[in-house]
Amino acid sequence: MIDALPLLLGPEGYQISRSVRLRSSASAYFNRTPASASNRKTWTWSGWAKLGNLGDCALFQAYSDANNRTQIGFGGNQINFSNLLAGSINARINTNAVYRDPSAWYHIVAVYDSTDATSSNRMKLYVNGVQQTSLLVATYPAQNTNLFANNNIAHYVGRDVAGSTFDGYLTEINFIDGQALTPSSFGQNDPITGVWQPKKYTGTYGTNGFYLNFSDNSAATAAAIGKDYSGNGNNWTPNNITLSPTTSTSYDSMLDVPTPWADGGNGRGNYATLNPLSRWAGGGSVVLSDGNLKAAFTNQYANHGTIAVSSGKYYWEAVVTSAGINSTGGGIMTVEQAGSNTSPYLGWVLDVQAGRNYYNNSYTSLAGGSFASGDRLGVAVNMDNGKIWYAKNGTWLGTSADPAAGTGAAQTNVNKEVVPVFYEGNTGFSATWEANFGQRPFSYTPPTGFKALNTQNLPDSTIKKGGAYHNEILWTGNGATTRNLTGTGFQPDLLWIKRRDTANSHQIVDSGRGASLALASDLTNAEFASQVGSFDSDGFSLASAGAAVNASGGTYVGWQWKKGATQGFDIVTYTGTGANRTVAHNLGVAPRMIILKSRTSGTAQWVVYHGSLSNTQALYLNADSSAATSALFWNSTSPTSSVFSLGTSSDVNVTAQNYVAYLFAGVAGFSKFGSYTGNGSADGPFVFCGFRPRWVMIKRTDVADNWYLLDTARAPSNQGTNYLGANQSVAEQTGFLYDALSNGFKLRYAGAGANASGGTYIFAAFAENPFKYSLAR
Amino acid sequence: MFLLNGVPLPLDTPFKDAAGSSYPANWLRLTTLEEKQAIGITEVPDPEPEPTPELPSPPGGGE
């Protein structure tokens, strides 16, 4: 069928209708050889890509021979744009940033204009609308150099002739012959979320220009799936792309597109795939392929899905193939389990060897649940009533099992945030699972009311732009005694400043106590005169040239939060009583993290409650110590939607002492306060947040280690490395390797502070945007 | 956590009460406990976190 062409639909914006999946395993690609050369000095390539295999590959290549070619692609997860002439590189730029986020879409634009008098303007790369100016390699061509691209030689989409084919999803590819454009010709920032969005290109294309949107999936031909919609008729020939039958696991026309929109069916948007970054490595291995919809497990291994859910009804399918099915299956796990290298048997899974219906390492048997190679597992999850069902080849398993009617569920206790999982659970065995979350046609009709797992079908977030309530700004001190700092986007109620370039204590001020009074998170000191002047409508002012905030040449970061129930942040001041008590708050829901400090005492510690610890435990923000245990912190009582409880600890509730408490409740798509367990590997835990994080704080709880403060203002691209310590006055340091991603963060080193094997960690994180709207990072 | 008719009520998600009245996604955050109780919502403490054990070998095993 031919989908309706994308339309501009007002506030909902431009909607891309389909993508094509290129399977590297099938050596899939498109090719075209222009009849004649055109402008080889000036052109623009724009395309949207969602990564499957994270290996080296080409998105676009013009190929004369191995020593003479132009290429835009990935190498070492970095994006490169290069030209090889007679075996030597005569033009190349290569990003420093790495791009290895397989959970969402990237918009990539490469611009070539060798006519420009300024060499650095001759080659440009943009990712998600932002020019990449931090370059690992920058070899700019001589003025008026011709590249091979746009010559009358073979051109490829998704293929490096001398290397690997691209694995993943592509759509909305524009090639503009003879013009050097900017990303604004192809995209724009959404006015509500601020996220970069696709926009219909409306300009001219030039002789060899083309526009591929892969919307015609009627045939695997140049006139259909490879059709050029520019009006030039520069169709591209598909190679090894399967479009029939539609229920084949090899079917390559996908509803997986960069932005969510309702199509009256499964919904279109960013679909779940298996996540190569999130796995249980029980000692085995996996080969993920086919846009991360196919997982070949050997021995004990599992991969999780890229989308987690905590409400709504969802359905997905997967085919298992194995020479001898043994201890393999699929289902769901909590995101905490997924981030803690946990066996899938501790989640909710159907082990299809003998129909074992597992929860928390115990099982009952489901009649008919023994699968043979080629059988198809269906999973229906109703997160609104905590139920999960399993189907074999379209028949729901269990007595009166009917997800639509809500009867006969395999399990009825699913009440946490969960992700899909598929696994092989036994040493010496292998199994391959090919998943379908709805991006291609299901083999069986989903139960009534159950939806495909994509961003369109995720609940809408009450906070669509995290920067409306939490932001950070960077500045360099100028030595002035007064200074206004703007750009926050709101009037902050909590401001946390840290000098980056040299050692200096933190400075924390809040609207509850007034801007003139500070505390330092690395000290137990009582409240002292701050160097902040005021909280303003778009930031704050400084009132000192002091070293903590505005020394000439000093570099600083200011993290800011706005209080309110919607965003789950409150500031409470109280006076100690010396007796067990409660203190009221205004969050409307129970806080997940409380940070409090005596304003009076110069020895009382900063005390932190975290919902991933028990109500008899606390951490000290000013210290690296492990979690302390005492009933005196919280009177062994968890906080509620209206109060938090205090015992009689000298740190939290001394008679007549004044205190301030910062209370945080997790808000879906905006903030999260959770935990994970380290795996001791540079391929560390993936921590699902449900948003693209802007700010993360991590603390090890089982043994002593520092508090690590990370943010994307100081690490604007991956991988991040620089950190500050909440309990430390020292300058910013490097070596805390991590990626901030569209749906969480991934630890990239095995340091004890973040990822010791078996180490337990808590974190707090705040969003740039909910995952529903986020692009890959 | 909040319960409605004995079922956990996810935060940040629209819901309906027993009478069929609809409530927006942020309603739970913007109301007092008394207002919640008035439509039948009860509050119970979140379960205390428990360490998740890692299994040394597959519990499913072979048949």
Provide DSSP, A74-130: EETTEEEEEEEETTEEEEEEEESS----TTS-EEEEEEEETT-SSGGGSEEEEETTE
State whether A588 and B49 contact (CB < 8 Å): no
| Of B26, B55, B62, Cβ closest to residue A345 | B55
Both structure tokens of A710: 């990370």
Q: Are A556 and A476 in contact (CB under 8 A)?
A: yes
Q: Are B33 and A642 in contact (CB under 8 A)?
A: yes
Say whether pLDDT at B51 is over 60. Answer: no
Q: Are A235 and A228 in contact (CB under 8 A)?
A: yes
Which are the contacts of B47, defined by CB distance < 8 A and separation ≥ 6?
A: none
Say how many Å lie between the first and final Cα of chain B, rounded.
41
Beta strands in A383-469 (DSSP E): 387-392, 395-396, 418-424, 430-436
State whether B10 and A675 contact (CB < 8 Å): no
- Indicate the length of chain A as a whole number: 777
Rounded mean pLDDT, B33-58: 77
Element spanning A631, H or E: helix A631-634
State whether A665 and B29 contact (CB < 8 Å): yes
Nearest CA in chain A to B57: A426
Helix%, strand%, coil% for chain A, nearest 5: 5, 45, 55
DSSP state of A412: -
Find which of B3, B7, B11 to mutate to test the A interface (most A CBs within 10 Å of its CB).
Answer: B11
Q: Chain B closest CA to A475's CA: distance in Å?
A: 35
Distance, in Å, from the CA atom of A332 to the CA atom of A419, rounded to the nearest integer, reads: 5
Give the SS3 label for residue A642.
coil
At A12 the pLDDT is 56
Find which of A346, A464, A615, A641 to mutate to test the B interface (most B CBs within 10 Å of its CB).
Answer: A641
Strands A724-725 and A707-711: antiparallel
Distance, in Å, from the CA atom of A412 to the CA atom of A228, rounded to the nearest integer, reads: 50
Set of chain B residues whose Cβ sits within 8 Å of the Cβ of A356: 60
| Of A343, A566, A613, Cβ closest to residue B55 | A343
* Residue that the structure tokens 């950190």 belong to: A723
Say how many Å lie between the first and final Cα of chain A, rounded.
33
* Residue that the structure tokens 């060899």 belong to: A208
Binned at pLDDT 50, 70 and 90, residue B10 comes out as confident
Which are the contacts of A131, defined by CB distance < 8 A and separation ≥ 6?
A: A124, A125
Which are the contacts of A718, defined by CB distance < 8 A and separation ≥ 6?
A: A97, A98, A99, A100, A101, A739, A740, A741, A777
State whether A386 and B63 contact (CB < 8 Å): no
Q: Chain A closest CA to B46's CA: distance in Å?
A: 8
CA atoms within 13 A on the CB side of A740: 26
Distance, in Å, from the CA atom of A353 to the CA atom of A588, rounded to the nearest integer, reads: 47
Give the SS3 label for residue A358.
strand
State whether B60 and A341 contact (CB < 8 Å): no
State whether A462 and B25 contact (CB < 8 Å): yes
Q: Are A427 and A405 in contact (CB under 8 A)?
A: no
At A13 the pLDDT is 76
Distance, in Å, from the CA atom of A707 to the CA atom of A729, rounded to the nearest integer, reads: 12
Nearest CA in chain B to A347: B52
Q: Chain B closest CA to A495's CA: distance in Å?
A: 23
Q: Chain B closest CA to A352's CA: distance in Å?
A: 10
Residue whose C-alpha is closest to residue A420's, from A289, A271, A283: A271
Both structure tokens of A672: 């999260």
Tell me which amino acid residue A533 is.
G
Nearest CA in chain B to A311: B10
| DSSP notation for A466-498 | GGGTEEEEEEE----SSEEEE--SS--SEEEEE
Positions in chain A whose pLDDT score sits under 70: 1-12
State whether B48 and A760 contact (CB < 8 Å): no
Provide the 10 A C-beta neighbour count for residue A66.
11
Q: Which residues of B touch A (CB under 8 A)?
A: 1-2, 7-8, 10-14, 25-26, 28-33, 36, 43, 45-46, 48-49, 51-55, 57-63
Both structure tokens of A98: 């790495």
Q: What are the CB-based long-range contacts (under 8 Å, 24+) for A622-626?
A: A622/A521, A622/A522, A622/A523, A622/A524, A622/A726, A622/A727, A623/A727, A624/A704, A624/A705, A624/A706, A624/A707, A624/A727, A625/A704, A626/A700, A626/A701, A626/A702, A626/A703, A626/A704
How far from A639 is each of A323, A561, A585, B1, B11, CA to CA, in Å?
53, 21, 10, 10, 16
Both structure tokens of A696: 């993360």
At A470 the pLDDT is 98
Distance, in Å, from the CA atom of A491 to the CA atom of A508, rounded to the nearest integer, reads: 15
| Of A326, A361, A666, Cβ closest to residue B59 | A361
Distance, in Å, from the CA atom of A441 to the CA atom of A260, rounded to the nearest integer, reads: 18
Nearest CA in chain A to B42: A641
Q: Chain B closest CA to A267's CA: distance in Å?
A: 19
Residue whose C-alpha is closest to residue A250's, from A294, A298, A302, A297: A294
* Residue that the structure tokens 């890509």 belong to: A49
Rounded mean pLDDT, B19-35: 94
Q: Are A401 and A410 in contact (CB under 8 A)?
A: yes
Nearest CA in chain A to B24: A462
Residue whose C-alpha is closest to residue A295's, from A271, A319, A272: A319
CA atoms within 13 A on the CB side of A311: 16
Find which of B4, B28, B30, B55 to mutate to test the A interface (most A CBs within 10 Å of its CB).
Answer: B55
Nearest CA in chain B to A641: B33
Residue whose C-alpha is closest to residue A122's, from A141, A94, A108: A141
* Residue that the structure tokens 């359905």 belong to: A315
Element spanning B4, H or E: strand B2-4
State whether A327 and B7 contact (CB < 8 Å): no
Say whether pLDDT at B53 is over 70. Answer: no
State whether B49 and A613 contact (CB < 8 Å): yes
Set of chain B residues whose Cβ sits within 8 Å of the Cβ of A354: 63
Nearest CA in chain A to B6: A385
| Of B10, B33, B54, Cβ closest to residue A642 | B33
Q: Chain A closest CA to B10's CA: distance in Å?
A: 7
Output the furthest CA–CA distance in chain B (Å, rounded): 55
DSSP state of A464: S
Nearest CA in chain B to A459: B13
Read off the pTM: 0.95
Say whether pLDDT at B52 is over 70. Answer: no
Q: Chain B closest CA to A123's CA: distance in Å?
A: 45
